[in-house]
Amino acid sequence: MALQSVNVLLGVTGGIAAYKAPDLVRKLTGLGANVRVVLSPSSAAFVTPLSLQAVSGNIVHQHLLDPEAEAGMGHIELARWADVLLIAPATAHCLAKLAHGMADDLLTTLVLATPAPIFIAPAMNQQMWAAAATQANLKTITERGITCFGPASGEQACGDIGYGRMLETVDIAQMLDEAVAALKALSGNEKTAATATNEPSEGSQDTPGLLAGKHIVITAGPTREAIDPVRYISNHSSGKMGYCLAVQALAMGAEVTLVSGPVDIPVPMGCKVIQVQSAVDMHAAVMHAVRQSCDIFIACAAVADYRVADIASQKIKKDNDEMTLTLVKNPDILADVAALPSPPFTLGFAAETHDVERYARGKLTRKKLNMIAANDVSQPDIGFNQNDNALTVFTADAQMVLPKQDKLALATQLLTILTNQVRK
């Protein structure tokens, strides 16, 4: 359990979902975390400080200008104590204050004062979640490194149905545990090696992740289509998005097979990796892996659409001013997996330079996929060879925007959406 002995500062804001906060504290402490709770001014209307103190075993913090606490600069001490700051529920008002850097209460002051990674679990009416202002605020804070868990889609307290419902407390706790495990694994912390390989450390309990028991096959990176022994056709894919998905899927408890084109990225611990060069090689490796055992297939690789019809056995010399290559279409890996008699859950990617939604929806329908994640690779600051990305996720009946952020954080959000879809 990655949260074992981790100091989690839980911020609770004033939405109806605040009544779930005591249960969330119990779930976090059950994973070994040390939990302290901070209430926003309005959250006490929905949940009492005494109930949170009872389940956390610590005094609940409410006021920024508490003379007794501030004698020792209490808010700074809390900010330093935290290894992780989680805000759940995070209301639309909370997101707006975070986006604008406001520090008008204890919780928002702590957000600015802590060096710890920050996570939010939004909860609000579906129309408030869809509002342009809320989405703009979300984009701003995720670009600053805050990771968003959810929200989920379902029936809300007001009677509406749609996205905006806070994730279940067990899922939030598990996702935080998995996110901390992934961060530790990427930082090379040897103490988390057991977590990164999905093996419980000595003396710990084996807590299943959201994807426990699932075998996921992921493709990543580019393919190289040979012209002659020294030249090839390829693209600008770095493989970072696919590898981040593999890291996070492992942290969520999945068994992962990564079919990778040529990249310069370390192999994630605990991941089975099959190295390939060409699209034909990748097609063969994927079909074999999927037919053996596969619950979910994620086609993240940038596979070359065409290959050279006749590969020269010797290096082609520059004897002519022009050279003509005859190209033939490569097999469609994603379509072939989706067309199997009993296909796994299929998530495709659509890297486009224009008309992103139209092409993505067309690919979703034409290839009979369960989900597709589309991104605009014409933007120089996201996508290929970048640490950040932004996605719009489409299913047959829904559309979700994941704003620009670090690819690891983006992988967490995308796999959360995928998990909810798989459960349907």
For residues 189 and 169, what is the distance between their CA atoms, to the nearest angstrom? 27
For residues 131 and 163, what is the distance between their CA atoms, to the nearest angstrom? 12
Say whether 12 sits in a helix, a strand or coil.
strand
Match 């990796």 to its residue by tokens: 273
Both tokens of 264, joined, read: 């310069």
For residues 82 and 106, what is the distance between their CA atoms, to the nearest angstrom? 14
Contact partners, residue 166, CB within 8 Å, separation at least 6:
15, 17, 20, 88, 89, 121, 122, 123, 150, 151, 152, 172
Which H or E run includes 112? helix 106-113
For residues 148 and 170, what is the distance between their CA atoms, to the nearest angstrom? 16
Is the separation of the CB atoms in 126 and 151 below 8 Å?
no
User: Which residue in 332, 324, 326 sits closest to 309, CA to CA?
Assistant: 326
Catalytically active residues are 158
Count how many Cα atoms sit within 13 Å of the Cα of residue 343 in the half-sphere of its side chain: 18
Match 């605990």 to its residue by tokens: 270
* Strand extents, DSSP E, 13-73: 34-39
For residues 215 and 256, what is the distance between their CA atoms, to the nearest angstrom? 6
Measured at the alpha carbon of residue 169, what is the angle toward residues 167 and 171, in degrees to the nearest 5? 65
Say whether 11 sits in a helix, a strand or coil.
strand
- Please give the span between the terminal C-alpha atoms of the chain, in angstroms, as a whole number: 27
For residues 282 and 172, what is the distance between their CA atoms, to the nearest angstrom? 35
